[in-house]
Amino acid sequence: MRRSVRTIPWALVTGAALLATLNAQLDAQAGTPAAHSVLPDSIPDAPEPQTNAVQQDSSSQQQAGTALISGTVLDTNGDVIQGAHVVLRRDTGPESHALQTGADGQFTFTGLPGGQYKLTVSGQGMSTYASPEIGLESGAVRILPKIVMSVEAVKASVTVTADKEELSQEQVQIAVQQRVLGVLPNFYTSFDWNAPPMMAKQKFKLSVHSMFDPAAFAIMAGVAGLEQYKNVYPGFGGGWEGYGKRYGATFANHVSDQFFARAAYPSIFHQDPRYFYKGRGSFSSRAWYAVSNVVIARGDDGRWKPNYSSVLGKLTSGALSNAYYPESERGAHLVFFNTLTELGADAAENLIKEFVLKNITSHVPQVANGGQ
């Protein structure tokens, strides 16, 4: 019994020592005094849970705006467009958001409150894209379909730097080279529907070319011979003397007609004395166009107007003929007879120009495009 009593105290002492040593090591590792590990009352209180505060902050953030809109901008080739200007506006408020697309052509608007939005995308040299209304709920994530922008059509204006007189003179040079079978003049036909107008100076210049062209003398000689053969205007008499008078009268009619109908009056009324080849449409439409050109002319401004130049030119030429026709033939009837004869001759000439002469006229411009 004595032996047992001695053993128990030593065991208790040894256990207490080991416990104290272990407790000290634990306290040293924790960096706290050993007394804290021993006394429960010295342990600090644990922090209270923050669940309610986090939920409140999340709810208020969602009300302020947590929705998102994202999209990609491409061109018509499917390539991304960097630097496109994207503007997002809300229907119910004045605020707007703006940004530019990145290197991948994408854009993203974050922190948006719910509502109705409209998106506008623009870029330099590109057409502007405007979206329909985009409905966005609070907290929603909206990825838009790909936005495709096309290259904006460029309106180009061409300024003609050539001088008007140079263009007008060029028209004269084109006209005087046009000859039927390389011989007979076809000066007053334009095969270019868009030919620029001639100025007054050039109208007179072309008129002089037509008056005294060598072929004109031969044509007038043939007309006078036909009148002699048919004994037209018997007051002129017969023989070489009668033929000479007829030739003089015919040539005088030609000169006065060219001067008044194709130079003086076209300059006064700003009308083009040329016949503009149509070359398109049905036979009847082209024939009507040719005949109507006797009384309808194109103005220098490109508009079609009553052909004052031709009608007044024929009347003036007819009135002047009273000065050199036989006295028995003079009077109002001579004026109107010569006027109607000249107008009829112009109508027949226009029909020939429309249907025959193009293929046998030299130096027809390559831009011969006919009526539009």
Give the pLDDT confidence score for residue 301 in this predicted structure.
92
Give the pLDDT confidence score for residue 158 in this predicted structure.
52
Low-confidence stretches of the chain (pLDDT beneath 70): 1-64, 153-162, 370-372
Other CB atoms within 10 Å distance of the CB of residue 351: 16
The gap between the terminal CA atoms of the chain, to the nearest Å, is: 141
Give the pLDDT confidence score for residue 304 in this predicted structure.
94
Give the pLDDT confidence score for residue 168 in this predicted structure.
92
Give the pLDDT confidence score for residue 6 in this predicted structure.
41
Beta-carbon contacts of residue 367 (< 8 Å; ≥ 6 apart)? 191, 192, 194
Q: What is the rounded CA–CA span in Å between residue 109 and residue 140?
A: 12
Q: Which conformational region is residue 276 in: left (phi greater than 0), alpha (psi within -120 to 50 degrees), or beta?
A: beta
pTM of the prediction? 0.56
Cβ 260 vs Cβ 271: under 8 Å: no
Q: Which CATH architecture has domain 65-149?
A: Sandwich (2.60)
Beta-carbon contacts of residue 182 (< 8 Å; ≥ 6 apart)? 362
The CA-atom distances, in angstroms, between 152 and each of 168, 326, 359 are 37, 74, 44
Q: Where are the domains of the chain?
A: 2-40, 65-149, 164-360
Give the pLDDT confidence score for residue 159 in this predicted structure.
54
Give the pLDDT confidence score for residue 372 in this predicted structure.
53
Cβ 111 vs Cβ 36: under 8 Å: no
Cβ 201 vs Cβ 168: under 8 Å: yes
Q: Which residue has the tokens 């105290």?
A: 9
DSSP string, 82-132: TT-EEEEEETTSS-EEEEE--TTSEEEEEEEPSEEEEEEEE-TTB--EE--
Q: What is the rounded CA–CA span in Å between residue 292 and residue 79?
A: 58
Q: What is the rounded CA–CA span in Å between residue 218 and residue 241?
A: 18
Give the pLDDT confidence score for residue 147 in this predicted structure.
92
β-sheet bridge partners, residue 185: 179
Q: What is the rounded CA–CA span in Å between residue 141 and residue 161?
A: 58
**Helices in the chain by DSSP H: which ranges?**
2-30, 34-38, 51-65, 164-176, 200-211, 214-230, 239-259, 265-269, 283-292, 308-320, 332-355
β-sheet bridge partners, residue 68: 141
Tokens of 294: 């006797």
